[in-house]
Structures are given as C-alpha cells and as structure tokens.
C-alpha cells in the first residue's frame, strides 16, 4: 500500500483513531492490508472482520505479534496496538481501497482491468497478469480474491510504481459487482460468459446476466468493453457499452470477433489453436489442458491489446504458463496414471468442459475415470443439472464414473439410468471411501479427472491421488 498517515486513514474510513505508544496522527503506515492475522508482516494493517464462524477481533493480538501496527475494528480491543474504530470494517476496507487506487491513478499511469463471468475468471486473470507483467509492475488477486474483502485487499497492494491492476469480480448478489467495480472504475471491462454457476442465488440465468453486466456499467465511459461474442447474453452487453460511449472488442470463434480462435486441438500435452487478430494469424500452444481455456486466452489477449500489447507478444507470454492455477486442470500423478485435479470449483458448464477434455486427451488403450462431486449454488435447478452431467459422462463414454458424497447421488443415478452398469458407475459416501476404492481400482493407462465444487473439497482427494501416483 502507499504510505498514509494514521490521521488520513481515519478520515478516509470515517473512523475514530485511538493511538498507543509513540504513534501520532502523522505516523505513516504502508504495510500489507489483510483480514487474516497469519498474513501480517511488519507494518501491516489488520482488518478485524466479524464472521459467521469466528470474529477477527479475537485475532488482533496474533496480528500484532506478526507485525501489524494498526487494526481497523468495530469496537476497541485490549491488545496494545493503534486502532481505528469504524461502524463496518468491510465498508471501511472498501473506502480505503477506493482512495488508494484513486491517488495512484492520479499520480501516474495506472491502468485497471476488471474481469467477471460465471466461469474462467481466475484463469483469465492469471493469463492476463502473465502477459502484462513483462510490460510493468502488475498487481493481480491471489487465488480467487474476488469478493467484498478479497477485491479491496488486492487493490490495496498497488503502489506508486504499479502500472497495471487486474481485478477479478465475483457476484454474491445483485449489485455486488457494481459496488466492487465502482471502487476503481476499470479502464477495461472483460465479461467472459454467463452460465449456471450461482444462478440459484440470483433467480435464474437472466438475472445472472444482468449481474455480470454491472461491470460494463461501472467501468469508465472512455474505456473498453471486452466481450465474449460467442455467448449471446454477453454479446448483448454491447448495447450497454455503446450507450456509454465505450470501445467494444469482441473475442470468440465467431467470424466477427476482433480476436478469434480456429483449428482448436486438445491433447495430453496442452491445447493448440490459431489466433487471428488485426488481420494476421498466429499459432498458440497453451500448456493448460482444455478447449475451454482457449476462450480465456482470447479474453486475455484482447484485454492486453486494449492496453497496447501486441497479439504476438501476448501469445508468446501465454505459452510460458504451466498451469492455470492450483486445482484448475492441474496435471498430477505420473505417465502411468495421470490425475487432472480440477476440483477448485464446479458449475454445469465447467463440469461439462472438463469431462469433454478428459475424453479428448485419452488415447486408444487408455481408460477414462471421472471422480465427481456435487455442484453447489444451483438452487432449484440442482437436480436437473446433476442429471445432465451424469448423462453427459455416459455419452462421452467415460469408462469409470466415481460419484462422491450424498449431494451428488442424483448424478450417479442419472449415469446408471443412461446405461453405466456393471460397476462402470459407483457411488461412495465420502473422500476416504473414494480414496480407498481408487487406490486399488486405478491401473496403468488411466486418465483420471477429479471435479467438484470447492465446498465439497475433492481437491484434497485429487492431491492425495496425485501423491499416491507420483
């Protein structure tokens, strides 16, 4: 974070400053800002966020022991540290992020990219950060820091030397993206897709589309909207962008796309495509598995182009990326038993894409094994969406379907109903049971996909299998 005095932080956050020790109103603070006391370092600012399971105020002492020199709190605590008491620490965190980014932007040449979509946000964020970092200091979220806490924490990592801020915006409810993007008003707004992820919490896919469009509305009127024109709901956001006077750049496989992919091929060594941009064509070889990641790459190339990076440079930098992110199509295991751990998150779209990738990368004589858990936050559509994935797994000829956990039982029943009999499909109660089954069931030549929503935790099962067959 840029250096601010304690008095400035109190004014920005609307808080009551309580000094301790030798601190004065003019004492400067420029350390890391976080809600996790374990992430504190010398000079850090600890945000004591109350939570459903615990209360950050209990960990102020631990934050101080790790180097925190200031705590934002909702009530005074006994720990010996300067505190600013605010009505709502999350609101105060957002206000601080807004002011810091505004100051950096006013003083230099900071450019901000916002990314949203039902799937692909984190991968696209990582792709774009990799492209931009060769041109200047780039700040991007750790993991999926895209909510009311993670997004401002990321924003507060900018300094006077930061050239690019890449922000990822998730939607907890209608209005969330507008609020988060409104903190920084991105120069470039990237909308990837509108799918069924979280649709249960929004009341359907059309409401989800409206929520994603908030990023376009909250971005700078003189900025650029980067839209997936293969997705009709995203393509329709052009009307919003046009109405605000924004430049619109489309990406996809559609002939009208400014940056387009063709000749997509998926293999065990990665994903190949031909990228067409600015009237020229370029070969792309991503080491990341899955045809669906070509769309994420197109989004990153297009956004980078809006910031002045040539397609050739963007592509050469993308080709150095080894994996999209831990637990996202992450290759593990060995040449005999290959594990693909893609269990950080799951939606109907990403589950289908992962299953298709498994089928595509498995050679004759090898066996496909899908280890599948539940997809969360689908609301009243959950049953039919799990049915659809069970049917798809059978129709893709996945040879072993291992369904884990009671919430995913309907997926198993759909697979059996479609014809996955004679132990081709099995339902197991939990991760431990699945591990014991797979430990003896897997054999040379197996290609294994592990996929579930984050809340199910199958990523840890994937790690155990990866270690077992390393």
Handedness of CA 94, 99, 102, 104 (dihedral sign): negative
SS3 content of the chain, % helix, strand, coil (to 5): 40, 25, 35
Q: Is 182 annotated as a binding residue?
A: no
> What does the block give as tokens for 150?
């993670």
User: How far apart (Å, rounded) are the C-alpha atoms in residues 273 and 179?
Assistant: 37
Give the three-state DSSP class for 196.
coil
Q: Is 345 annotated as a binding residue?
A: no
Q: Is 381 annotated as a binding residue?
A: no
Give the three-state DSSP class for 116.
strand
User: How far apart (Å, rounded) are the C-alpha atoms in residues 182 and 173?
Assistant: 15
Q: Is 121 annotated as a binding residue?
A: yes
Q: Is 210 annotated as a binding residue?
A: no
The helix (H) or strand (E) run that includes residue 267 is: strand 259-267
- List phi, psi (to 5°) of 4: -135, 150
Q: Is 49 annotated as a binding residue?
A: no
Contacts with 211 (C-beta within 8 Å, 6 or more apart), sequence order = 171, 173, 174, 175, 176, 177, 202
The helix (H) or strand (E) run that includes residue 216 is: helix 205-218
> What does the block give as tokens for 405?
């956990």
Q: Is 120 annotated as a binding residue?
A: yes
User: How far apart (Å, rounded) are the C-alpha atoms in residues 240 and 246?
Assistant: 9
> What does the block give as tokens for 445?
């030549």
Q: Which of 17, 21, 41, 44 has the alpha carbon at shortest distance from 33?
A: 44
Binding residues, by number, are: 117-123
Binding residues for ATP, by number, are: 117-123
């Amino acid at each position: 974070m840029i250096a601010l005095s304690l008095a400035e932080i109190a004014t920005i956050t609307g808080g009551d400053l309580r000094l301790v020790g030798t601190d004065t109103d003019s004492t400067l603070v420029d350390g890391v800002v976080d809600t996790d006391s374990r992430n504190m370092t010398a000079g850090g600012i600890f945000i004591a966020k109350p939570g459903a399971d615990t209360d950050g105020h209990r960990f102020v002492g631990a934050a101080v022991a790790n180097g925190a020199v200031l705590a934002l709190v909702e009530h005074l605590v006994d720990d010996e540290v300067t505190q600013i008491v605010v009505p709502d620490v999350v609101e105060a965190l957002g206000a601080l992020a807004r002011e810091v980014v505004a100051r950096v932007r006013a003083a230099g040449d900071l450019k901000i990219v916002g990314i949203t979509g039902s799937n692909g946000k984190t991968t696209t964020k990582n792709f774009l950060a990799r492209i931009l970092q060769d041109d200047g200091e780039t700040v991007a979220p750790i993991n999926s820091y895209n909510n009311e806490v993670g997004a401002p924490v990321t924003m507060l990592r900018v300094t006077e030397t930061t050239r690019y801020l890449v922000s990822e915006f998730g939607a907890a409810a209608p209005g969330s993206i507008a609020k988060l993007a409104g903190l920084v008003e991105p120069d470039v707004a990237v909308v990837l897709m509108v799918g069924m992820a979280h649709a249960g919490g929004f009341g359907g896919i059309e409401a989800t589309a409206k929520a994603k469009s908030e990023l376009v509305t909250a971005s700078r009127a003189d900025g650029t909207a980067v839209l997936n024109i293969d997705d009709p709901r995203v393509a329709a956001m052009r009307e919003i962008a046009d109405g605000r006077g924004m430049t619109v750049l489309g990406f996809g496989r559609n002939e009208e796309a400014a940056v387009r992919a063709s000749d997509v091929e998926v293999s065990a060594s990665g994903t190949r495509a031909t990228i067409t941009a600015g009237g020229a064509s370029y070969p792309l070889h991503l080491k990341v598995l899955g045809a669906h990641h070509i769309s994420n790459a197109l989004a990153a190339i297009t956004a980078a182009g809006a910031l002045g990076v040539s397609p050739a440079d963007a592509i050469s930098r993308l080709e150095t990326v080894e994996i999209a992110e831990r637990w996202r199509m992450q290759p593990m295991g060995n040449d005999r038993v290959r594990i693909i751990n893609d269990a950080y998150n799951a939606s109907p779209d990403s589950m289908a894409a992962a299953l298709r990738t498994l089928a595509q990368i498995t050679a004759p004589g090898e066996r496909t094994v899908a280890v599948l858990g539940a997809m969360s936050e689908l609301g009243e559509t959950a049953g039919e969406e799990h049915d659809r994935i069970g049917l798809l797994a059978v129709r893709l000829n996945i040879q072993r379907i291992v369904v884990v956990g009671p919430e995913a039982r309907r997926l198993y029943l759909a697979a059996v109903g479609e014809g996955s009999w004679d132990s081709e499909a099995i339902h197991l109660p939990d991760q431990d049971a699945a591990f014991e089954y797979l430990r003896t069931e897997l054999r040379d030549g197996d290609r294994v996909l592990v996929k579930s929503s984050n809340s199910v935790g199958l990523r840890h099962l994937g790690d155990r299998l990866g270690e077992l067959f390393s």
